[in-house]
């Protein structure tokens, strides 16, 4: 992709969002974000929150990148694209230019070798597009589950790839760092993307993989309240068996995940996760059967296996599942505590 003698040049833009993905990226550990960028020979041309340059210097940089006077290897967008009102994009003007950020993003994407959507807002519209979406927020190549977005369903960057959607709310820093390293090494292709153009490096897994509550799930020993230790799928809205991410295998902030914090997985890497049609902490059911079944599992099989599992649930799991702490310890068969 690039001459190995020069840095890989990255520009980071922010649009309709909270900045949480940048904050999460700064939490990268072993190594830290700056070490990651240095190791990949990535030069950050500008980041709105981290760079010193401002004003006319930044506008000049944008103009040079748009006109091709400077090379743009990776364009990262954080936050959804604000297209309102009435498709004009004037809800979000880039300061000092009088020009909608929407236009800058489109123009810079045309010259970028790779375009990366950082977070679910940039990928699919995300939280910013929820509700009545008065700001007309969309993702770079998706509007929710519909292909298109700002750049259109057929968009390809100069590398020949579609927008790379590192979705999540926020992203895990490891997802970003790995993807940037692959791009910088020239080793990222269509084969590394799933059906939503998300990197398979993390969507090859389910959030269910590595969950500390898996034994409770196996026996369908379910939590009834958020503080309970049991599985949160049956009653509390957990979508860990459907969500594509490695959150319980690649810990967050050196410690844990949403589930470790006693909150159900809300599938934040998926399009339209922000409006599931029910409270996040409730599991919708039909005839007592959860509507959102585990990925790839036929309903009849789930019902049959769930019935068998509940019939065989050990007393220890039944007790611990509805408690805010583990009260009954495992015991070796045939060994009685004196």
- In this prediction, residues 16-25 reach a mean pLDDT of 96
**pLDDT-derived band at 337, boundaries 50, 70, 90:** low
pTM: 0.92
**pLDDT-derived band at 58, boundaries 50, 70, 90:** very high
- Give the separation between CA 190 and CA 175, rounded to whole angstroms: 17
CATH, range 8-203: 3.40.50.700
Choice among 74-83, 306-315, 317-326, 328-337 with the minimum mean pLDDT: 328-337
- In this prediction, residues 51-70 reach a mean pLDDT of 96
The pLDDT of residue 1 is: 46
**pLDDT-derived band at 338, boundaries 50, 70, 90:** low
**pLDDT-derived band at 304, boundaries 50, 70, 90:** confident
For the stretch 103-145, pLDDT in tens is: 999 999 999 999 999 999 999 999 999 999 999 999 999 999 9
Q: Given a cut of 50, is residue 156 above it in pLDDT? A: yes
Does residue 171 contact residue 26 with C-beta atoms inside 8 Å?
no
The pLDDT of residue 197 is: 98
HEC string of the chain equals CCCCCCCEEEEEEECECCCHHHHHHCCCCCCCHHHHHHHCCEEEEECCCCCCCCCHHHHHHHHHHHHCCCCCCEEEEECEEECCCCCCCCCCEECCCCEEHHHHHHHHHHHCCEEEEECHHHHHCHHHHCCCCCCCEECCCEECCEECCCCCCCCCCCCCCCCEEECCCCCCHHHHHHHHHHHHCCCCCHHHECCCCCEHHHHCCECCCCCCCHHHHHCCCECCCCCCCCECHHHHCCCCCCCECCCCCCCECCCECCCCCCCCCCCCCCCCCCCCCCCCCCCCEECCEECCCCCCCCHHHHHHHHHHHHHCCCHHHHHHHCCCCCCCCCCCCCCCCC
* Same fold: 8-203 with 206-324: no
**pLDDT-derived band at 307, boundaries 50, 70, 90:** confident
For 212, the token pair is 């500390």
Q: Given a cut of 60, is residue 3 above it in pLDDT? A: no
* Percent of the chain surpassing pLDDT 70: 98
**pLDDT-derived band at 4, boundaries 50, 70, 90:** low
Domain boundaries, the chain: 8-203, 206-324
- In this prediction, residues 262-269 reach a mean pLDDT of 97
Q: How many CA atoms lie within 13 A of 266 on its CB side?
A: 21
Choices 4.10.480.10, 3.40.630.30, 1.20.1250.20, 3.40.50.2300: CATH for 206-324: 4.10.480.10
- In this prediction, residues 90-102 reach a mean pLDDT of 95
- In this prediction, residues 74-78 reach a mean pLDDT of 98
């Amino acid at each position: 992709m690039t001459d190995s003698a020069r840095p890989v040049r990255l520009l980071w833009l922010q649009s309709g969002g909270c900045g949480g993905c940048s904050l999460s990226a700064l939490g990268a550990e072993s190594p830290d974000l700056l070490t990651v960028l240095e190791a990949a020979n990535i030069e950050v041309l500008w980041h709105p929150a981290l760079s010193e340059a401002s004003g006319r210097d930044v506008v000049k940089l944008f103009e040079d990148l748009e006109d091709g006077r400077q090379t743009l290897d990776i364009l990262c967008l954080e936050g959804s694209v604000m297209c309102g009102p009435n498709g004009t994009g004037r809800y979000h003007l880039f300061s000092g230019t009088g020009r909608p950020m929407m236009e800058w993003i489109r123009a810079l994407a045309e010259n970028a070798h790779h375009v990366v959507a950082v977070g679910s807002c940039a990928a699919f519209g995300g939280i910013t597009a929820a509700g009545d979406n008065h700001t007309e927020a969309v993702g770079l190549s998706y509007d929710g589950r519909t292909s298109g977005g700002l750049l259109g369903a057929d968009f390809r960057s100069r590398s020949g790839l579609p927008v790379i959607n590192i979705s999540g709310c926020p992203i895990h820093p490891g997802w970003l760092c790995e993807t940037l390293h692959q791009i910088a090494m020239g080793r990222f292709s269509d084969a590394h993307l799933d059906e939503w153009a998300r990197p398979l490096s993390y969507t090859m897994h389910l959030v269910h993989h590595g969950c500390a509550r898996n034994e409770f799930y196996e026996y369908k020993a379910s939590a009834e309240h958020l503080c309970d230790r049991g599985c949160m799928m049956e009653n509390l809205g957990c979508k860990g068996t459907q969500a594509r991410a490695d959150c319980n295998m690649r810990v967050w902030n050196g410690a844990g995940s949403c589930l470790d914090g006693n909150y159900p997985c809300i599938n934040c890497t998926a399009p339209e996760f922000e409006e599931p049609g029910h409270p996040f902490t409730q599991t919708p059911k039909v005839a007592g059967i959860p509507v959102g079944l585990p990925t790839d599992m036929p309903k009849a099989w789930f019902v049959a296996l769930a019935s068998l599992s509940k019939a065989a649930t050990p007393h220890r799991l039944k007790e611990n599942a509805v408690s805010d702490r583990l009260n009954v310890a495992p015991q070796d068969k045939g060994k009685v505590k004196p």
